[in-house]
């Protein structure tokens, strides 16, 4: 459940009980999927609740809105402040925060000026769980970047993700891995993909993916300890040659993959670069600073 009896949400300037919040059924977002959102995590650190890369997430929310011609009358700093207030009002420290910007009544396929802001937070375990994942390559492709802004976090794009995970779960897998419209590996339904091969990490470049904030963090952490990472297109054949692989995302954090299409990856997860980076990521989010970093 995403809220309890006394949970509070932020809605257009007011703090409301989550179970009393309402919205109009005529909104453009509801009908056509033209809205933007974020997924953010806060961690219980020794300095209290810290929202990891809050500014970067709200900057991406702004970017997503701009790319969809959605007005964005909020300042990033104000949104960061509201996030901390949201946590405080709900007495949450380890939480997932969900900002959503959605549009008012407009049945035309045109921009609309009426814009709403919703913020909620709840306790959410790691999205893909703690176990090594059994992944299938999806029959669904990621949306073509010439048909929409794939680097924006737009509500409607997630119909593609829902189709892919529904297919994967129906076939007994944990998660889907999607190709782009050129047949290259792109990403998971809601997480970026990394592959380890001969001591190098590879990840698909920007263009057909949502360039994740976790992906960026992982690339920076890899640099700190000298693991080479190459952003590069690769096809399905590389999946067979991979030593190890993992997904990255705010909700999933760093999620190790055990097998792809029922073929086990060669290396033990505990021996992989991904495993080391997962521990570093944990330390990073708990410190919220690179300078405290020590290798674990
Ligand atoms: N790809 C997609 C499609 C996603 O929905 C997400 C989650 N926002 C990611 C990648 C990972 O992004 P981030 O690390 O910023 O959460």
Query: Looking at residue 101, which CATH number applies to its domain?
Result: 3.30.470.10
Query: 45, 52, 37, 53: which is closest to 116 by C-alpha?
Result: 37
- Asked if residue 114 and residue 239 are part of one domain, the reply reads no
pTM: 0.96
On whether residue 3 sits in a domain, the answer given is no
Query: 265, 284, 264: which is closest to 276 by C-alpha?
Result: 284
Known active-site residue 153: yes
- Asked if residue 56 and residue 94 are part of one domain, the reply reads yes
Show the tokens assigned to 192: 């970026």
Distance 99 CA to ligand 1 centre (A): 14
What's 278's domain CATH number?
A: 3.20.10.10
Query: 78, 95, 93: which is closest to 3 by C-alpha?
Result: 95
Helix residue ranges per DSSP H, 69-112: 76-89
Out of 91, 122, 153, pick the residue that ends a domain: 122
- Asked if residue 186 and residue 111 are part of one domain, the reply reads no
Ligand 1 probe mutation, 188, 190, 193, 281, most atoms within 8 A of CB: 190
Distance 98 CA to ligand 1 centre (A): 13
- Asked if residue 167 and residue 42 are part of one domain, the reply reads no
Query: 39, 40, 106: which is closest to 71 by C-alpha?
Result: 106
* pLDDT block averages, 10 residues each, the chain of length 296: 95 97 96 98 95 97 98 98 98 97 97 97 92 98 97 98 98 98 98 97 98 97 93 97 98 97 97 97 81 45
| Residues 54 and 80 sit within 8 Å (Cβ to Cβ) | yes
- Give the pLDDT score at 129: 87
**Ligand 1 proximity of 143 Cβ (cutoff 6 Å):** no
- Give the pLDDT score at 290: 46
- Give the pLDDT score at 289: 53
CA 35 to CA 132: how far, in whole Å?
33
| Cα Rg of the chain, angstroms | 19
- Asked if residue 261 and residue 150 are part of one domain, the reply reads yes
* Neighbouring residues of 271: CB distance < 8 A, sequence distance ≥ 6: 244
Q: Which range of residues forms the domain containing residue 206?
A: 133-286
| Residues 179 and 138 sit within 8 Å (Cβ to Cβ) | yes
- Asked if residue 162 and residue 62 are part of one domain, the reply reads no
**Ligand 1 proximity of 210 Cβ (cutoff 6 Å):** yes
- Give the pLDDT score at 288: 61
- Give the pLDDT score at 295: 45
Query: 96, 186, 177: which is closest to 133 by C-alpha?
Result: 177
* Neighbouring residues of 108: CB distance < 8 A, sequence distance ≥ 6: none
* Neighbouring residues of 235: CB distance < 8 A, sequence distance ≥ 6: 183, 184, 185
Q: How many CB atoms lie within 10 A of CB 15?
A: 14
Q: What is the number of structural domains in the chain?
A: 2
């Amino acid at each position: 459940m995403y809220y309890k009896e006394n949970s509070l949400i932020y809605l257009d300037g007011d703090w409301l009980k989550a179970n009393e919040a309402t919205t109009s059924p005529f909104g453009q977002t509801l009908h056509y999927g033209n809205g933007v959102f974020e997924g953010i995590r806060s961690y219980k650190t020794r300095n209290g609740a810290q929202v990891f890369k809050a500014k970067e997430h709200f900057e991406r929310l702004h970017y997503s809105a701009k790319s969809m011609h959605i007005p964005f009358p909020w300042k990033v700093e104000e949104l960061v402040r509201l996030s901390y207030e949201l946590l405080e009002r709900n007495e949450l420290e380890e939480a997932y925060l969900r900002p959503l910007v959605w549009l008012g009544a407009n049945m035309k396929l045109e921009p609309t000026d009426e814009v709403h802001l919703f913020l909620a937070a709840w306790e959410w375990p790691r999205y893909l769980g703690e176990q090594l994942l059994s992944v299938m390559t999806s029959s669904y492709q990621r949306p073509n970047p010439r048909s929409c802004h794939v680097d924006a976090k737009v509500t409607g794009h997630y119909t593609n993700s829902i189709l892919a995970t529904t297919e994967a779960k129906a076939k007994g897998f944990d998660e889907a891995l999607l190709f782009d419209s050129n047949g290259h590996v792109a990403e998971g339904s809601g997480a970026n993909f990394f592959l380890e091969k001969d001591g190098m990490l590879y990840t698909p470049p920007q263009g057909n993916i949502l360039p994740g904030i976790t992906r960026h963090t992982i690339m920076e952490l890899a640099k700190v300890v000298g693991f080479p990472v190459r952003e590069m297109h690769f096809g399905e054949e590389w999946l067979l040659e991979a030593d190890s692989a993992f997904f990255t995302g705010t909700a999933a954090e760093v999620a190790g993959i055990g097998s792809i299409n029922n073929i086990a990856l060669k290396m033990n997860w505990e021996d992989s670069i991904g495993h080391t980076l997962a521990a570093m990521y944990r330390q990073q989010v708990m410190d919220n600073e690179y300078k405290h970093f020590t290798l674990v």
